[in-house]
Structure formats: structure tokens, C-alpha cells
Amino acid sequence: MAEPAIVAEHLVKRYGVLEALKDVSFSVPEGEVLGLLGPNGAGKTTAVRILTTLLRPDSGRAIVLGRDVRDDAARVRASIGLAGQNAAVDENLTAHENLRLVGRLTHMSTGDIKSRSDELIEQFSLAHAGNRLVRTFSGGMRRRLDLALALVHRPPVLFLDEPTTGLDPKGRTDLWTVIQRLVGKGTTVLLTTQYLEEADQLANNIVVIDHGSVIAEGTSAALKGRFGSTVIEVAFRDETAATTASERLAHVGTVARDGSRLKVSVSDGAPAMLETVRVIDGAHLEPTSMALREPTLDDVFLALTGHAAEEPPVEDDVSEADLARRGKHKTA
Ligand SMILES: Nc1ncnc2c1ncn2[C@@H]1O[C@H](COP(=O)(O)OP(=O)(O)O)[C@@H](O)[C@H]1O
Ligand SMILES: [Mg+2]
């Protein structure tokens, strides 16, 4: 069997007392997409920074296309592209100028830079804006340009750190299409995301991380199988009604009650919805709302960890107290 294109082996990274990665391992076979799924602060960017030579792990190994990122950083860099949450574009240059700059930095010939830049502008639907200053771009255009910049030197391995966070639904699906096209051409991709739906759409395999540890791993179908592929939400006027309903709905799926609201995780959405209606009607209970929806990362977290995906304080505001508290959290 061929060696995977990306290997993370027992990665550990500490920032002071905070253990951002605690023994994280995963691998990505050549030509596949791995979705690294986790909430804010899970350690996704830290893992990406290690794999892209920008950060040294305290222990563990990272290998890209057979090369150790520590011993062979320059050659690893030449074979990878990185597009991040904080788009690395120069606001005061045009799209074409940004692309040409990257071409020069990666030592491409003038002719190649020109043709590659035209090709990418076209491919990323930026033709109408190629000569406009980037500071006039929308968020979606900026992300597409950022991705284009990561591809100038035709890297076989691509790292995408939350490529669609902050984009509107249209911007998000547009970017998914672009990523799918790249994958179709054989690029190996490691993608981080906070959206289960995004990992579901793009990734062959999903690794779920929380507080620096891998808490689940598998195909989207396998993961969904563990917590149900559909969620039925029912709200009642009071807790008594919700409690009664939750007891009677136990055969429909996995029921979780939060006050007067119920969440039923099921694997067969439509028939389960029908049965839920029958049961509630049969019990003469009156729901105030009922909805059928796809599971979110929060549902996965609840199912896997028993707690919701929480938001830690923003990075710049980390106080000693926060660090101490979070240091404690990990052993809890
Ligand atoms: N340079 C840093 N110094 C101190 N703490 C950091 C630094 N970078 C990240 N962290 C902390 O490490 C944890 C993981 O961060 P990160 O890898 O950015 O997570 P994610 O990308 O999943 O949101 C968070 O608790 C974050 O606050
Ligand atoms: Mg991040």
C-alpha cells in the first residue's frame, strides 16, 4: 500500500500550560480529503501550522509526501499550498498582482506566471475583477483569491484552514464547488472546519477533535450512524408535556430533552417524523413547533462527549486565569 500523503503522528503542542494538541494522530491517503472537524479552540490551526512547517511540535512527527516537516521544511513547503481563515492576500494590490507576486516568490518563469495567473483568475470566477484592488472585494472573492494564491505553484497537497468560515451560504457552496474540482484533479486535501455539513460534503474521512484530542474518526456515514442522520426537534409549552413526549418517543430514536424542547436523533427522517406526529397526537399533546433538520457539529458533540461544543475566549484575551482554568479542564 502506498504511503499516505499526510501523516500526523502523536503530535503534542503546548502554549505555556495550555496543551493545544495532546497526542493527535491521523493520516490522509494520496488524492483523498480529510476533514478535521472541531469547534473553536479545538487545535485545528495548531495541527495545520505544524504540518505546514510554520510551528514545531513539542513531540511527535509530521510527514508530508514522505518528508519530515522538520528535517525537510523547504521541500515540504514547495509541495504544499495553504489557504487560511485569515486570507493572506495583499489588500492594496489587484488580484493579478497578488498572483504574480506569489509566482515570483515561488521562482516561476515570467511566462508561466502570466499563464498560470490568467488560468486561476478564470477558474476562480474572478475574471471580472482581476485588475481591481483586493480591498474592494467581497469576503467570498477574497477567499477564492486566497485559495488561488495557494495553488499558483501547482502543489499536490493542499491545506485549507476553515476555508468558508464567515462566508454567506452562496459563498460557501461556490467555494465547495471549487474545492471539489481540485480534488477531482487528484489534489490531496486536509481541510479544517467547524461545520459538519462541510466535512460531509467534501471529505472522504472525518477526524473530530476537541480540546486537542481526537474524539472520533470515520467516514461521514459512519459518524452519522452513531448519532442519527436526521434530527427532529419538537417544542412544547411546558416541561411536563415534553417529559411525557420524551418517554413515548423512545422507540423512534435517541431522545434528549432540554426544558420544554425535545431533540430526537433518527436514521430514517420521514417515517420517524410521521411516527413522532402520531405519538404526540395520540397522547393529546400540543407541540408549539416541530422541525426536521440535518445534524450539526453541536449534535455530534453532544452525542460523543455529553457536552455541547463550547466557545473559548478569543486568543488575544487569554488571561492567566483562563489558561489555568483550561489547563484544569483537560484533566476533568
Ligand atoms: N500562540 C498561541 N499562544 C497561546 N495559546 C494559543 C496560541 N495559539 C493557539 N492557542 C490556544 O490553543 C488552543 C488551540 O487553538 P487553535 O489551534 O487555534 O484552535 P482552532 O484552530 O481549532 O480554533 C486554543 O485554546 C487557543 O486559544
Ligand atoms: Mg483555527
Residue recorded with cell 393529546: 284
Q: What is the pLDDT of residue 326?
A: 44
What is the full per-residue pLDDT of the chain (332 aa) written as tens digits? 678 999 999 999 999 999 999 999 999 999 999 999 999 999 999 999 999 999 999 999 999 999 999 999 999 999 999 998 766 789 999 999 999 999 998 889 999 999 999 999 998 889 999 999 999 998 889 989 999 999 999 999 999 999 998 888 888 998 899 899 999 999 999 999 998 889 989 999 999 999 999 999 999 888 877 767 789 999 999 999 999 999 999 999 889 899 999 999 888 889 999 999 999 999 999 999 999 988 887 777 777 776 666 654 444 444 444 444 444 443 33
pTM of the model: 0.83
Residue recorded with cell 494564491: 149
Each domain of the chain, given as residue ranges in start order, spans 6-224, 230-293
Q: Which of 13, 18, 310 to mutate to test the pocket of ligand 1 (most atoms within 8 A of CB)?
A: 18
CA distance 179 to 175: 6
From the CB of 18, is ligand 1 less than 6 Å away? Answer: yes
CA distance 269 to 229: 8
CATH of domain 230-293: 3.30.70.1070
- Mention every residue, 6+ apart, whose C-beta is less than 8 A from residue 69: 50, 51, 52, 53, 62, 63, 76
Q: Which of 315, 316, 330 to mutate to test the pocket of ligand 1 (most atoms within 8 A of CB)?
A: 315
Cα angle, residue 19 at apex, residues 14 and 22 outer, rounded to 5°: 105
Residue 51 CA to ligand 2 centre (angstroms): 14
Q: What is the pLDDT of residue 62?
A: 98
Q: Are 227 and 71 in contact (CB under 8 A)?
A: no
Q: What is the pLDDT of residue 107?
A: 86
State the distance between the two ends of the chain, measured CA to CA, in whole angstroms.
40
Q: What is the pLDDT of residue 310?
A: 63
CATH topology of domain 6-224: Rossmann fold (3.40.50)
Give the number of the atom of ligand 1 that is nearest the alpha carbon of residue 318: 27
From the CB of 13, is ligand 1 less than 6 Å away? Answer: no
Q: What is the pLDDT of residue 98?
A: 95
Residue 257 CA to ligand 1 centre (angstroms): 33
Residue 43 CA to ligand 2 centre (angstroms): 7
Residue 56 CA to ligand 2 centre (angstroms): 17
